[in-house]
Chain A
Amino acid sequence: MRILVVGGGMGGTIFANHLARRIHHEMKTGKARITMLSASHEHVYQPGWLYVAMGRATPDELVREQESLLEPGIEFHVDPVEEFHLAQNHVKCKSGKVHEYDLIVISTGSRAMPENIPGLKENSVNCYTAENAVEYYKQLSEFKGGRIVITVGLPHKCPMIPLEVTFAMYDFIKDRGLLDKTEFYYTYPIGRVHSLENVAKWAAPEFDAKGIKYETLFNMKEVDGKNAKVLSEEGSEVAYDLLVAVPPHKGQEVIEKNGLGENGWIPTNRHSLHMEGEHGKNVIVLGDTTNLPISKAGSTAHFEAETAAENVAAVVKMGRPVKSYDGKVFCFIEAGKDRATYAMFDYQNPPQPKAPTGSVHAFKMAYNKLYWATARGLL
């Protein structure tokens, strides 16, 4: 079986490594082959950009050579796919090379699109690329006081980041003795401070205790940089001195261009993770690339990838899949520089977050280093 993995991020890498370990024998005897195509030779631990923005990590700490993470036997090419020909079971890459497959896994991820909100890109900071996180740190470290506004676009990657940047900045400003000169103003698209009701019930009192103000039912419409104001779809205006954005996201352009899904999100079966539609039988979609109504987060890609790898291995060995994805997501929530909690949930069970502790934060810091074992399919 020729298995083609498109995308060398969390989903693609964890899938390929898990699968390679499970079908080691079949790969050795030539019965199965795994090929990965990626747009980059680097693999980036994206959750680490939050720490770069707070001056607690540097971008190079978050990067490894993609090839060094892959199990022996996985064929790797830096050659982004430009054309998907699903009816003919092949893709065409930027180099012009054509790769045929029996099964394709599409895990191309998502991208922040601040340019989709007028005025947002040029008037705000965010931590969704290394360059932006460095600029965020520069502006935060030069901040002398005033109003910091947090504004959130939809959809976005990492549902905890609006809370995390707020708590992290609070501690950052507190440590610099600027709390009495700073006002935090948090905005959020729905009628509570977080999409997860139990997380909102925990976070709102934390905001109250810290004096962090918030406005809900606030969806960015545009940013008036000249007058330093954010305008919402709901008709309100908020003035800022430093604007911190969680920009709206889209899937990759190549997904849209090939007509695989609106805004780059591919319609996906929530349990089998196969693409919906007539050519979906041998197409698996992972991570941010799906249109599933669950969090766009590394842990989602991780748990989906494990399920998919187990299924593909079972198909190789016995002709049938064995598992159904249950919607599992696990997100750490950094509640400042030295406390954290977490939210774990699936399609059936909402999260029950506990009060933040130093030990969960310590575990999160350890996980930031252990991630490379996760990428290798070991953890």
Chain B
Amino acid sequence: MAERTVDARGSFCPGPLMELISNMKSMQVGDTLELLSTDAGSAKDVPEWVHKVGHEMVDTNQDSEGTFHIKVRKAK
């Protein structure tokens, strides 16, 4: 299963969630993606979308510099 990182730090437009959605289209079921985001809203809106579509949240944490690391697995 492949892993990829999407660096969406400092992205206001299209923004971290849109970057995540775009990237997930190119992934295979079972692949994981780690999203880097400096937008605090990502910790809320990414899980909201992931659950609504039926993918899987793997992990969310914030590093000492304030960057959110949000890991998602493509489930369908």
Q: Which residues does A use to contact B, with CB under 8 Å? A: 154-155, 159, 189-191, 195-197, 217, 219, 233-235, 248, 262-263, 270, 293-295, 327, 329, 343, 345, 347-348, 350-351
Contact = CB atoms under 8 A, between A and B. Distances in A.
Contacts of A190: 15, 17-18, 21, 45, 49
B19 interface: yes
A159 B13 contact: yes
A157 to B, nearest CB: 11
A263 B17 contact: no
Contacts of B29: none
Contact of A348 (B10, B21, B25): B10
B41 to A, nearest CB: 7
A262 B18 contact: no
A234 B53 contact: yes
Contacts, number: 72
B21 A189 contact: yes
Interface string B3-33: 0001111111111111101100110000000
Contacts of A263: 26
Contacts of B9: 293, 347
A303 to B, nearest CB: 14
Contacts of A219: 21, 53
Contacts of B52: 217, 234-235
Interface of B: 6-19, 21-22, 25-26, 41, 45, 48-49, 52-53
B48 to A, nearest CB: 6
A326 to B, nearest CB: 10
A154 B18 contact: yes
A195 B10 contact: no
Nearest to A191: B45
Contacts of B19: 293
A100 B15 CA distance: 38
A350 to B, nearest CB: 5
Contacts of A189: 17-18, 21
B7 to A, nearest CB: 7
A154 B13 CA distance: 12
A234 B49 CA distance: 8
Contacts of A191: 17, 45, 48-49
Contact of B14 (A195, A233, A327, A351): A195
Contacts of B13: 159, 195-196, 294-295, 329, 343, 345
A74 to B, nearest CB: 32
Contact of B12 (A233, A234, A248, A351): A351
Contact of A262 (B11, B15, B17, B26): B26
A295 B49 CA distance: 21
B10 A327 contact: yes
Contacts of A295: 13-14
Contacts of A248: 22, 25
A376 B20 CA distance: 36
A195 B18 contact: yes
Nearest to A188: B18
Considering the complex of A and B, which 5 residue pairs feature the smallest CB-CB distances, nearest first?
Answer: A347-B10, A293-B11, A195-B15, A293-B8, A154-B22
B41 A197 contact: yes
Contact of B49 (A217, A293, A350): A217
B12 A345 contact: yes
A334 to B, nearest CB: 17
Nearest to A329: B13
